[in-house]
Chain A
């Protein structure tokens, strides 16, 4: 597959690390000068900008938390004058004020370039019809992917999320070849397509670039089967940039290349904050080394993954991150066992004919946490005999217990009763009053 930026994407590691070190030390000088928050934090930790000579000095720097961004709401972390900011995005403010991020003209160009790299890594070229079903608006998904598609020279359909029947009509009429959406919305599209009697093989879709929520490998297979395309994983978050921070390549399909000429990734132990070696699982932390308006230093993403340093067959030298296993804050602790919704999803998708829609209801009965897994009964699993359905419930219970070590109850529910996603899927209802 032709790369969008081969020189930078295949830069030898030694050269890449040198570049990162130069950019890091320049960044730290700049944020120390321009952003009171960083200056105060560094002073409090006794770190001077001159202490940061390279990537090896990263661990001397304090972390940045989402809460820091809220405290400086809305523009307190910007390093340039507002007149040089050409766009802002904001993340959902379900737990308080939103976090606001800003971009200069240069940032928008960088971002578009990285997103173009991502689409190219999926095999996209200027000949493609990019169907962008990420939401447009304050969320970075829509516009981020949009500018990337244009930078690549592809034709972008800015369809945004929702109105699924119309999306399918446009796919048919315009000949969409590349689909960008959340994985849960891709499944929703597949389902509506089946209802409409549209055969996915009659469409031109060849690849899907899915992200913005954690998903499992079994869900990937499900999407690939139902939409007749190759499903790839993309990662990004507004605080770091937006989509296009890392992207899986079509050749490797195993882990997402982090565009390390722009971002430095670390994996840390979320409890102690200690850096962990390559291969170990922990919290992903990012430092942006080229962003102008809104750089972040050691930003705690709360996403759980590991870094994979092995060379990839695509030829990119940039380190890969494994798919996100979950988030430190949606990790459920059920009777002392750590559990991510994606792990349950993986088990469910592994059971043939179980629908990919599920809901986890967590509750506390007395002093005991309970988890109920709601699964829709499709025609494939339905039987007129009670014992067949009870056997299905027991099988799901047994596999979750075997693989995850948690006892749960399984509730079979009628089809279409679990809300369908038009963006990020809601998978957990936690009724515990703690």
Chain B
């Protein structure tokens, strides 16, 4: 149900992002989803890959600070109001969204959005109650 995401600390220097993707490419690791949060001083790159442990090891070896967190991959109906329905279901249960980003691939007729919540289990409950599908890590990687 929960999907593992790795995060990488990046200084705002040209070429650093390319070094990350280059290290992963050389280790034959395919990126499933990614997002970059930026501030004036630094960035945080978040990645979903098939082999989290390997990616983490490769990046650490390359001198990066790497973290691991759990996120949810949620199917969102690809029509007006699709996202609104999900967010109101979460809001009703007082689940806070820390950040979210779209997945590259679609799941059938639906889009896939990656969510980071303050309370993961409460979010799972809220979404299930509304019959909203949450993808497993394997499903995400199979897309």
Contacts and interface: CB of A to CB of B under 8 A. Distances in A.
Answer yes or no: do A and B interact. Answer: yes
Contacts of A378: 65
Q: What bracket does the count of chain B residues touching chain A fall in?
A: 20 to 34
A386 B39 CA distance: 8
A411 B9 CA distance: 13
Interface string A398-434: 0000000000000111111100000000000000000
A96 B63 CA distance: 38
A415 B64 CA distance: 7
B18 interface: no
A415 B66 CA distance: 10
Interface stretch (B41-49, B83-91, B105-113, B128-136): B41-49
A393 B41 CA distance: 11
A384 B65 contact: no
A386 B65 contact: no
A377 B41 contact: no
B37 interface: yes
B10 interface: yes
A382 B9 contact: yes
Nearest to A383: B67
Given A378-B65, A412-B41, A385 B10 contact: no
A379 interface: yes
A411 B12 CA distance: 11
Contacts of A416: 63
Contacts of A33: none
Given A379-B67, A414-B64, A386 B44 contact: yes
Contacts of A413: 11
A379 B56 CA distance: 12
A312 interface: no
Contacts of A382: 7, 9, 65-67
Contact of A412 (B5, B7, B42, B64): B42
Contacts of B46: 384
B65 A379 contact: yes
A324 B9 CA distance: 36
Contacts of B21: none
A410 to B, nearest CB: 8
Interface residues of A, number: 18
Contacts of A417: 11
Given A385-B99, A385-B116, A414 B11 contact: yes
A389 B41 CA distance: 11
A51 interface: no
Interface string B29-62: 0000000010101101010000000000000000
Contacts of A379: 65-67
A215 B85 CA distance: 58
A385 B65 contact: no
A378 to B, nearest CB: 7
Given A384-B69, A385-B99, A386-B37, A412 B9 contact: yes
B28 interface: no
Nearest to A412: B42
Nearest to A409: B41
B4 to A, nearest CB: 11
Contacts of B16: 414
A382 B41 CA distance: 14
Contacts of B66: 379, 382
Nearest to B99: A385
Nearest to A387: B98
Given A414-B11, A414-B64, A414-B65, A384 B41 contact: no
Nearest to B118: A385
B41 A385 contact: no
Q: Closest 8 CB pairs between A and B?
A: A384-B7, A382-B65, A377-B9, A384-B69, A382-B67, A386-B37, A377-B65, A414-B11
18 contacts: A382-B7, A382-B66, A383-B67, A384-B69, A385-B99, A386-B39, A389-B42, A390-B39, A412-B42, A413-B11, A414-B9, A414-B10, A414-B11, A414-B65, A415-B63, A415-B64, A416-B63, A417-B11
Given A382-B67, A414-B11, 7 more contacts: A379-B66, A384-B46, A386-B44, A389-B42, A393-B41, A411-B41, A415-B63
